[in-house]
């Protein structure tokens, strides 16, 4: 028979093991440590309450996020081989939309039946794009509003670009994402009309991204009167396609969006502008292409957006060594 001292020791051990089980930290994997992924990884790592791993091509030791109220400088754990990954609580998919399929091996190893995959990507149709690769995991669509710039592999710059940094659906998944970011200082809007918000963001992206990429100018280009007139016409055309697709966009939505665009710093760039500078493929099909596709579905003419799509594809194909991209 066990002595009283041994029983008490056993109780203490069981209590300690139980406390370990209850204090397990939430696990988070960030796929893609670019301008969007680097920022969210840095903000979450600074909380020091999650186990975070970055899924990248090349390993890093530290990550710096520059911001107006002081830089975040954190150690970062990285994986370079999907075979090393295990299921986590959260996957933050931060790749460009055209790289979603390439991230499939990561998603296959990181996703379990209780995993949530937050889509931190441009465009619309987040769930449809990621679900085929996420297995039993649930996809959480988000809209990213902040402006990010990748300065080097281990350094990114964060700029606040509006009233909110994210928008999510007003449901259990959206609230879970909000809870994940609690304490970061990032502001999140929970909305019952996510589709309209996604279209508003798409309208700006589908116009501002290709214009900055094609002109090789940052947002200062939108201060030109002739460019503003062109932007307004592009936005009016795209808004008509969005309304036909079910988004609730007011008659003066194009003017309001253009006014919002002009509040951004003149030296801020767009993701497509930086991609062109770096000689990478452009995210043109997920942005302007989505507007043109919606127009085709609903019988709405989109000649200006189609022109931007054609020119953007030509630039993108040149960056890829002349290999043609998608058709439409």
**Phi and psi of 321, rounded to 5°?**
85, 25
Q: How many domains does the chain contain in total?
A: 2
Parallel, antiparallel or unpaired: strands 147-152 and 188-191: unpaired
Per the annotation, the verdict on 201 as an active-site residue is yes
Q: 28 and 168 share a domain?
A: yes
Please check whether residue 169 is in contact with residue 26, taking contact to mean a CB–CB distance below 8 angstroms.
no
Range(s) of the domain holding residue 56: 24-192
CATH code for the domain of 29: 3.40.50.720
pLDDT (average), residues 245-250: 96
- pLDDT in the model for residue 207: 96
Q: 181 and 37 share a domain?
A: yes
- pLDDT in the model for residue 18: 38
Neighbour count for residue 104 (Cβ, 10 Å)? 14
CATH code for the domain of 282: 1.10.1040.10
> Residue 19 pLDDT > 70, yes or no?
no
Q: 205 and 170 share a domain?
A: no
Strands (E), the chain: 26-31, 50-55, 62-66, 72-75, 77-79, 90-93, 116-119, 138-144, 147-152, 155-159, 166-169, 188-191
Please check whether residue 136 is in contact with residue 124, taking contact to mean a CB–CB distance below 8 angstroms.
no
Q: 163 and 227 share a domain?
A: no
- pLDDT in the model for residue 22: 39
> Residue 10 pLDDT > 80, yes or no?
no
Buried b (16+ CB within 10 A) or exposed e, 287-302: bbbbbbbbbeeeebeb
* Tens digit of each residue's pLDDT (9 = 90 or more) over 171-194: 999 999 999 999 999 999 999 999
Please check whether residue 76 is in contact with residue 60, taking contact to mean a CB–CB distance below 8 angstroms.
yes
User: pLDDT-derived band of residue 161, with 50, 70 and 90 as boundaries?
Assistant: confident
pTM over 0.75: yes
Q: 131 and 240 share a domain?
A: no
Q: 182 and 230 share a domain?
A: no
pLDDT (average), residues 43-47: 97
Strands (E), 88-240: 90-93, 116-119, 138-144, 147-152, 155-159, 166-169, 188-191
* Tens digit of each residue's pLDDT (9 = 90 or more) over 72-94: 999 999 999 999 999 999 999 99
Among the candidates 176, 192, 208, a domain finishes at 192
Higher pLDDT, 270 or 325: 270
- pLDDT in the model for residue 11: 47
In a domain? residue 274: yes
- pLDDT in the model for residue 321: 76
Please tell me which residue in 86, 96, 201, 228 is annotated as part of the active site.
201
Q: 176 and 206 share a domain?
A: no
User: pLDDT-derived band of residue 3, with 50, 70 and 90 as boundaries?
Assistant: low
In a domain? residue 86: yes
Among the candidates 163, 192, 221, a domain finishes at 192
Q: 224 and 184 share a domain?
A: no
In a domain? residue 7: no
């Amino acid at each position: 028979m066990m002595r009283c001292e041994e029983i008490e020791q056993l109780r203490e051990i069981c209590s300690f093991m139980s406390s370990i089980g209850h204090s397990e930290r939430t696990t988070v994997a960030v796929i893609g440590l670019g301008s969007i992924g680097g920022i969210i990884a840095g903000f979450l790592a600074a909380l020091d309450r999650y186990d975070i791993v970055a899924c990248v091509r090349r390993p890093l030791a530290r990550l710096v996020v520059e911001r107006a109220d002081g830089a975040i400088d954190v150690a970062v754990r990285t994986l370079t081989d999907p075979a090393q990954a295990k299921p986590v609580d959260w996957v933050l998919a931060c790749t460009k939309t055209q790289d979603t399929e390439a991230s499939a091996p990561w998603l296959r190893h990181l996703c379990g039946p209780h995993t949530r995959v937050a889509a931190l990507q441009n465009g619309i149709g987040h769930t449809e794009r990621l679900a085929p690769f996420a297995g039993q995991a649930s996809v959480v669509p988000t809209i990213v509003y902040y402006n990010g710039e990748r300065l080097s592999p281990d350094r990114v710059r964060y700029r606040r670009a509006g009233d909110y940094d994210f928008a999510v659906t007003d449901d259990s998944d959206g609230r879970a994402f909000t809870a994940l970011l609690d304490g970061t200082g990032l502001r999140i809007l929970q909305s019952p009309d996510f589709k309209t918000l996604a279209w508003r963001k798409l309208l700006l992206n589908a116009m501002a991204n290709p214009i900055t990429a094609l002109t090789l100018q940052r947002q200062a280009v939108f201060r030109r009167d002739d460019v503003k007139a062109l932007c307004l016409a592009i936005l009016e055309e795209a808004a008509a396609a969005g309304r036909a697709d079910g988004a609730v966009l007011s008659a003066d939505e194009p003017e309001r969006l253009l006014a919002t665009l002009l509040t951004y710093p003149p030296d801020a760039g767009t993701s497509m502008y930086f991609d062109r500078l770096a000689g990478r493929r452009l995210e043109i099909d997920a942005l302007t292409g989505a507007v043109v596709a919606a127009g085709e579905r609903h019988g709405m003419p989109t000649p200006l957006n189609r022109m931007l799509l054609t020119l953007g594809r030509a630039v993108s194909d040149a960056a890829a060594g002349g290999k043609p991209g998608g058709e439409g």
